[in-house]
């Protein structure tokens, strides 16, 4: 049966990079991939057109699809809007409405881009970490939340960090399963020395480890984890953590590779539906200039083929094509270094299609 992909380019460079990913999907369609693509609005672009960053129609389209390809959301233009209608709410709404609780964020150093990292080559060469971030709970969604005015007239802001055992268990299960297909190590990151909720998190992960004893499990406080990521990142295989810690650590891990423009991500629910997007944001400063790196989005299509569309061979083809264009010396501005061939967003997309 024809599988459905909802295509949501979003804001800023989202439009340009998704256009290149569409070229790649079209090439695979010509080679027999049985998918249908339907576009929808999300983020600031959706707000401008409809008054909400997540229109009903988009949510419906997303729910009816096997997979969602998202570009990026946000931009200066919408920063002063009320938080309830900011572009980011479109993304958060999709995550929670579809129950996309498992966010997989790989940080891989491509050997061709070893100089792009700010860290010494011996610290990062061969780096291959998978961050498994809980995505639909924790402080991002906990109630109560808000800003209230106290009797003395002072304002007080508050958010709630809350996890149920079942939420911890299902994300830890994902981490153990992924580790089993990789380096067989999981590091669970918490702040169990201060926060009760993450002390419970640690207990639940330990409990689950009894049924996953083939995997080596360690625990680390988040402050130490941030330090270890920069000091000796290759000690990590799979890291599993809360929504907010994962938000922060995944940016840190991405930058170890020096090329956030190269990193894809997947957000999965219990039904295997997934949303796929580059790790980077909408980069409004370079939007519309045809200079953004489309490779993270193209690699997100590879993750989509692997995790939601059951087409691992096609996923391999995309990943090999990306390696080929890097081997050929093609570089967008963000990963450019002397002696390489600087190309635009669309030239990079065309080169990947040709390499396919």
Active site residues: 140, 191, 223, 247, 251
Q: Are 265 and 279 in contact (CB under 8 A)?
A: yes
> Rounded to whole angstroms, how far apart are CA atoms 218 and 205?
10
Q: Please report, as ranges, the residues that interact with ligand IPM according to CB under 6 A.
A: 74, 88, 91-92, 247
- Which residue is at the shortest CB distance from Mg ion? 247
Of the pair 112, 267, the CB lying nearest ligand IPM is at: 267
296-324 burial by CB neighbour count: b if 16+ within 10 A, else e?
bbbbbbbbbbbbbbebeebbebbbebbee
- Which residue is at the shortest CB distance from ligand IPM? 88
Segment near Mg ion (CB under 5 A); pick from 10-18, 25-33, 203-211, 241-249: 241-249
Of the pair 190, 247, the CB lying nearest Mg ion is at: 247
Segment near Mg ion (CB under 5 A); pick from 67-75, 188-196, 240-248, 302-310: 240-248
Q: Which does 67 bind (CB under 5 to 8 A by kind): ligand IPM, Mg ion, none?
A: none
With H, G, I as helix, E, B as strand and everything else as coil, classify residue 14. Answer: helix
Of the pair 14, 55, the CB lying nearest ligand IPM is at: 14
Q: Which does 39 bind (CB under 5 to 8 A by kind): Mg ion, ligand IPM, none?
A: none
Q: Is 134 in the site for Mg ion (CB under 5 A)?
A: no
Q: Are 113 and 259 in contact (CB under 8 A)?
A: yes
Of the pair 74, 258, the CB lying nearest ligand IPM is at: 74
> Rounded to whole angstroms, how far apart are CA atoms 70 and 4?
14
Reading the block at residue 150, the tokens are 């106290």
Of the pair 87, 233, the CB lying nearest ligand IPM is at: 87
Q: Are 200 and 219 in contact (CB under 8 A)?
A: no
DSSP H helices in 98-209: 121-124, 165-180, 196-209
Q: Which does 349 bind (CB under 5 to 8 A by kind): Mg ion, ligand IPM, none?
A: none
With H, G, I as helix, E, B as strand and everything else as coil, classify residue 148. Answer: strand
Q: Which does 91 bind (CB under 5 to 8 A by kind): ligand IPM, Mg ion, none?
A: ligand IPM
Question: Number of C-alpha atoms within 13 angstroms, CB side, residue 205?
Answer: 29
> Rounded to whole angstroms, how far apart are CA atoms 7 and 21?
10
Of the pair 247, 334, the CB lying nearest Mg ion is at: 247
CB of 251 to Mg ion, least distance (A): 6
For residue 130, the 8-state DSSP code is E
CB of 265 to ligand IPM, least distance (A): 8
CB of 255 to ligand IPM, least distance (A): 13
| List 11, 190, 247, 311, residue binding Mg ion (CB under 5 A) | 247
Total count of residues recorded for the chain: 356
Closest Cα to residue 127, out of 282, 269, 233, 20? 233
Q: Which does 88 bind (CB under 5 to 8 A by kind): ligand IPM, Mg ion, none?
A: ligand IPM
Residues of the shown chain interacting with Mg ion in the complex, contacts defined by CB under 5 A: 247
């Amino acid at each position: 049966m024809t599988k459905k992909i909802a295509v949501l380019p979003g804001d800023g460079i989202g439009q340009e990079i998704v256009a290149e990913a569409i070229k790649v999907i079209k090439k695979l369609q010509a080679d027999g991939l049985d998918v249908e693509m339907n576009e929808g609005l999300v983020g600031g672009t959706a707000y401008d057109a409809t008054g909400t960053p997540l229109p009903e129609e988009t949510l419906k389209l997303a729910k009816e699809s096997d997979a969602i390809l998202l570009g990026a959301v946000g931009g200066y233009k919408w920063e002063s809007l009320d938080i309830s209608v900011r572009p980011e709410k479109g993304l958060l709404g999709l995550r929670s409405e579809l129950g996309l609780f498992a966010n997989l964020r790989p940080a891989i150093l491509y050997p061709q881009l070893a100089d792009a990292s700010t860290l010494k080559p011996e610290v990062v060469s061969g780096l291959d970490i998978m961050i498994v971030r809980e995505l639909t709970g924790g402080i991002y969604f906990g109630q109560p939340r808000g800003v209230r005015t106290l009797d003395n007239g002072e304002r007080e802001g508050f958010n709630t960090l809350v996890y149920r055992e079942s939420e911890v268990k299902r994300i830890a299960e994902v981490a153990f399963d992924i580790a089993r297909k990789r380096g067989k190590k999981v590091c669970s990151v918490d702040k169990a020395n201060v926060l009760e909720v993450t002390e419970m998190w640690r207990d639940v992960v330990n409990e689950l480890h009894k049924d996953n004893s083939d995997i080596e499990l360690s625990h680390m406080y988040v402050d130490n984890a941030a330090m270890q990521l920069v000091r000796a990142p290759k000690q990590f295989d799979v890291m599993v953590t809360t929504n907010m810690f994962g938000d922060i650590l995944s940016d840190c891990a991405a930058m170890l590779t020096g090329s956030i423009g190269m990193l894809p991500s997947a957000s999965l629910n219990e039904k295997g539906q997934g949303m796929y997007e580059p790790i980077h944001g909408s980069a409004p400063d370079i939007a519309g200039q045809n200079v953004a790196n489309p490779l993270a989005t193209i690699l997100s299509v590879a993750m989509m083929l692997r995790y939601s569309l059951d087409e691992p061979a096609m996923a391999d083809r995309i990943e090999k094509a990306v390696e080929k264009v890097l081997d050929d010396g093609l570089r967008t501005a963000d990963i450019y270094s002397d002696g390489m061939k600087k190309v635009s967003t669309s030239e990079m997309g065309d080169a990947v299609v040709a390499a396919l």
